[in-house]
Structure 1
Amino acid sequence: MKDYSKYFNGPSLKEARSRGKEDIKHIENAFEIPPDMVNIGQGQFYHIKTYGCQANERDSETLAGILEMMGYQPTDDIHKANVVLLNTCAVRENAEEKVFGKIGYLKTVKKTNPNIIFGICGCMTQEEVVVNKILAKYPQVDMIFGTHNLHRLPQLLKSAMLEKEMVLEVWSKEGDVIENLPSHRASKTKAWVNIMYGCNKFCTYCIVPYTRGKERSRLKEEILDEVRQLVADGYQEITLLGQNVNSYGLDLDEDYSFANLLEDVAKTGIPRIRFTTSHPWDFTEAMADVIAKYDNIMPYIHLPVQSGNSEVLKTMGRKYTREQYLALFDMLKRKIPGVAITTDIIVGFPNETDEQFEHTLDVVRYCKYDNAFTFIFSARPGTPASRMHDSIDMETKRKRLAKLNKTWNDLALEKNKAYVGRTVTVLVDGLSKKNEKVYSGYTDTQKLVNFKGENIQPGDFVEVKITEAKSFSLDGVAV
């Protein structure tokens, strides 16, 4: 067996699991570019492939900003790139399979361009089993780094250029918040704004608390300064990001909650505010009141239920019952006019019975979600659920997923049909990816609208009359 002891900077699942009470540091000067790396990328190109959630997309914007500070320019052509980074996701097995497929493909790319620097980062690299697999089977990888040390990219890149062996630096435990990092925003009209990092919930199926570390809130002044700058730069919409935004501020020594932050962000005047993701455990009536009070906080909430059965929820470690979730759902519908609610659902959790699955369908029929992200349970190594005996065969799980999808799709179509004939305000993203004669954008309730119009620009607010409804989108004409 290969000796991995020399890779002393690799991840440790045991260390990532621990949650200490040490103070969280907010550091404003941790990022620096070594003098000999300042212009190292002049005339060269970088390519970043991002997998997974919005947090990864925001991290990729930071990585892009760092590379551009060193002189590199972006390219969509991986064969043209001098630096290639895969920013990975570990939430489900199929996401990891896609990454390993891409790593295998890059072996051929490296044969034609042996000087290319090829790096893997993100949540997958926080897993010991993944890193050991890369070390053993994928020598084409030049550097591996994790979610906690993105700001170290210039130093890691320098080491990869100078050293003949793979560069590995993955911090398993992190308690700091690094500010003042550069960024290349993917959009000129919509922006992600991190308000916190990490998660302390430890749902039994989820790897995120291990890959993202403990909950760490940014200071409100840093967040509000960033939002004010986005307003000054002409941004029309922001999304406040956290693994569980409802926990914002719990780690700070002050009486300032997510509801307080939402209100202060609304007062900046940014036209549209969204946030994700919300754990039902921490959603308060104060938050609902603030959302209802301000027109620029969108009436849209992503509220993962995961299962509609209380016993399964308990085994999942979700810390709420079916009844508590439905009470929260009813409160949000009562307090926030016209609110749209979307969800996540896992089918085939270990030993889920037919009756328990039917309870999930009952919840879906009751809530009539505007959208749902549904998955077959995927065991993540190192999580408690991965060690559970599972009596359900894959064919049963697939049938349940198909039944669930048909149920919520039919209900979503029924809801969307209510929009036909109405005129809605759409924030335009640009031309549709599927039809260059059609524009696309989103309503306040996060409904995708494809519509016909003329002389329209990304970032415009356009009144659109809806003419047709589909399960996942609406069609219309600009008024």
Structure 2
Amino acid sequence: QEGCDKFCAFCVVPYTRGAEVSRPVTRILDEARNLVERGVREITLLGQNVNAYHGAGPKGTDYTLAQLIWELDKVDGLERIRFTTSHPNDMTDELIEAHGNCAKLMPYLHLPVQSGSDHILKRMNRSHTAESYLRVIERIRAARPDIVLSGDFIVGFPEETEAHFQETLDLVEQVKYGYAYSFKYSTRPGTPAAERALVDAAEADDRLQRLQALITKHQREIQDCMIGREVSVLFEKPGRDEGQMVGKSEYLHAVHVANANAQVGDIAKVRIVDAGTNSLKGELLS
């Protein structure tokens, strides 16, 4: 899927990539099968707003992203499915149900919100509120309680006050992201927000540091909670140390395993024995 029809006030994608266009289902399935034949175990469905996918199906009707995921679920040898990036307004009931019922769909979701302030969300033209976003999060976690969430945030957006920023901190405190990507607002020429007065740069810098500190705190807490748990790791490359392998858990954690009798592309059970802010250490169980 490429392009976006949302027209967020800060974003150039609708102007540079155009309207949303989705690849046909059969082309995606053919590519997936071809990749699996070459040894690929995991695929990620990509798009600027991938959960708005509406690709033509084999019988002439458009498929949703959830329907596409279920078709990919039937591909023998494909072990893992992910998708990114998403818009809260397109997290449909059937897509949320897929997170709960499709074993190949990994328990990780990137769902940007950008701000926790309804005033700023409106000025961003996000077409959702903080409360509606939190309701989506609640439904997702009800369907898949162990899911790890990530998000995007923009601080210092035009008109953002300290009170607006505090609402963002409040939302982050409620959601507790496993990962999040945060940025200080920068002008994109040709976008509606480009004509608006900027927040003081020093104030925006301070807010970004405070937000990132809170995100890092939650990230470390979630990483620490993984100690003692068993995860499934897809090994991607050798590590720096002899005999070490590095891969990704189903939750997208980077996992380093010493003395790993494994090859790139293997999927194995690993017990987590230590945690850092950005990665985990584990021991091979099988």
Correspondence for 1:290 among 98, 102, 123:
98
The one of 28, 41, 44 equivalent to 1:223 is 28
Per-residue CA deviation, residues 100-141 of structure 1 (Å, 9 max, x unaligned), is xxxxxxxxxxxxxxxxxxxxxxxxxxxxxxxxxxxxxxxxxx
After TM superposition, give the deviation of residue 344 of structure 1 in Å. Answer: 0.5
Q: What TM-score do you get using the length of structure 2 for normalisation?
A: 0.94
Query: Who is 1:477 aligned against?
Result: 283
Instruction: Tell me, yes or no, if structure 1 residue 206 matches structure 2 residue 18.
Output: no
- Show the 5 A alignment for 1:155-166: none
Is the partner of 2:149 in helix, strand or coil?
strand
Distance (whole Å) between structure 2 residues aligned to residue 474 and residue 266 of structure 1 = 28
Instruction: State the 1:404 CA deviation.
Output: 0.5
Q: Percent identity?
A: 41
**Paired letter, 2:159:** N
1:416 paired with 2:241, answer: no
For 1:387-406, list aligned pairs within 5 A. 387-390=195-198, 392-406=199-213
- What is the alpha-carbon distance in structure 2 between the residues aligned to residue 329 and residue 249 of structure 1? 23
Change in CA separation of 1:437 and 1:375 when aligned onto 2, cut-off 3 Å = farther
Instruction: Give SS of 2:208's match.
Output: helix
Q: Which residue of 2 aligns with 1:244?
A: 49
- Compute the displacement of 1:255 (Å): 4.3
Alpha carbons of 1:438 and 1:201: their partners in 2 closer, same or farther (altered >3 Å)? same
Work out which structure has the larger RCO, using CA pairs closer than 8 Å and 6 or more positions apart in sequence: 2
Aligned pairs for 1:125-164 (under 5 A) are none
Partner Cα separation in structure 2 for residue 250 and residue 205 of structure 1: 27
1:450 correspondence with 2:256: yes
- 1:130-160 CA deviation, whole Å, 9 max, x = no partner? xxxxxxxxxxxxxxxxxxxxxxxxxxxxxxx
SS of corresponding position for 1:262: helix
Question: How has the CA–CA distance of structure 1 residues 251 and 296 changed in structure 2, closer, same or farther, with 3 Å as cutoff?
Answer: closer
Structure-2 separation of matches of 1:240 and 1:249 = 13
Paired position in structure 2 for 1:8: none
Q: Which whole-Å CA distance do the structure 2 matches of 1:278 and 1:436 have between them?
A: 39
Distance in structure 1 (CA, Å) of the matches to 2:232 and 2:55? 36
Structure 1 segments, 4+ long, off by >6 Å, are 250-253
- In the alignment, residue 46 of structure 2 is paired with which amino acid? L
| Number of the residue aligned with 2:174 | 366
Cα distance between partner residues in 1 of 2:209 and 2:149? 21
Deviation at 1:265, TM superposition (A): 1.0
**Structure 1 gaps, min length 5:** 1-195
Amino acid in the other structure paired with 2:102: Y
> Could you tell me which amino acid in structure 2 is paired with residue 208 of structure 1?
V
Given that 1:216 and 1:251 are in contact with CA atoms closer than 8 Å, whether structure 2 keeps it comes out as no
Distance 1:291 1:232 in 2: 26
Indicate yes or no: 2:263 matched with 1:439.
no
CA gap 1:227/1:350 in 2 versus in 1, 3 angstroms: same
Match for residue 69 of structure 2 among 262, 276, 290: 262
Alignment match, 2:39: 234
Query: Match of 2:188?
Result: 380
Residue type at the aligned position of 2:19: K
- Give me the whole-angstrom Cα distance separating, in 2, the residues matched to 1:241 and 1:438: 30
Q: Specify the alignment match of 2:128 in structure 1.
A: 320
Q: Where does 1:48-87 land on structure 2 (aligned, <5 Å)?
A: none
Match of 1:345, SS state, is strand
Could you tell me whether the CA contact under 8 Å between 2:113 and 2:151 is conserved in 1?
yes
Whole-angstrom CA distance in 2 between matches of 1:436 and 1:410:
32
SS at match of 2:40: coil
Distance in 1 between the 2:260 and 2:179 partners?
30
Residues 1:251 and 1:206: Cα distance change in structure 2 (over 3 Å): farther
Residues 225 and 456 of structure 1, relative CA distance in 2, 3 Å threshold: same
Structure 2: give runs of 5+ residues left out of the alignment.
none
Deviation sequence 1:410-436 (CA, Å, 0-9, x none):
11111111111112111001123x555
How big is the shift at 1:329?
Answer: 0.4
Distance 2:56 2:128 in 1: 22
Shift of 1:451: 1.8
Alignment check: 8 A CA contact 1:215 1:251 kept: no
Aligned residues: 282
The one-character-per-residue Cα deviations of 1:258-316 (angstroms, maximum 9, x if unpaired) are: 11111111111310000011111111011011222121111111000100011101111
- Aligned-partner SS, 1:404: helix
| Residue in structure 1 matching 2:148, options 340, 345, 349 | 340
State the match for 1:299 in structure 2.
Answer: 107
The amino acid across from 2:272 in the alignment is: I
Q: Distance in 2 between matches of 1:298 and 1:458?
A: 19
Q: Secondary structure at the match of 1:346?
A: strand
**Alpha carbons 2:97, 2:143 under 8 Å: kept:** yes
2:266 aligned with 1:460:
yes
Identify if the C-alpha distance between structure 1 residues 263 and 251 changes in structure 2 by more than 3 Å, giving closer, same or farther: closer
Residues in 1 aligned to 2:169 and 2:190: alpha-carbon distance in whole angstroms: 30
The 2-side partners of 1:439 and 1:363 are apart by 36
Scaled by the length of structure 1, the TM-score of the pair is 0.57
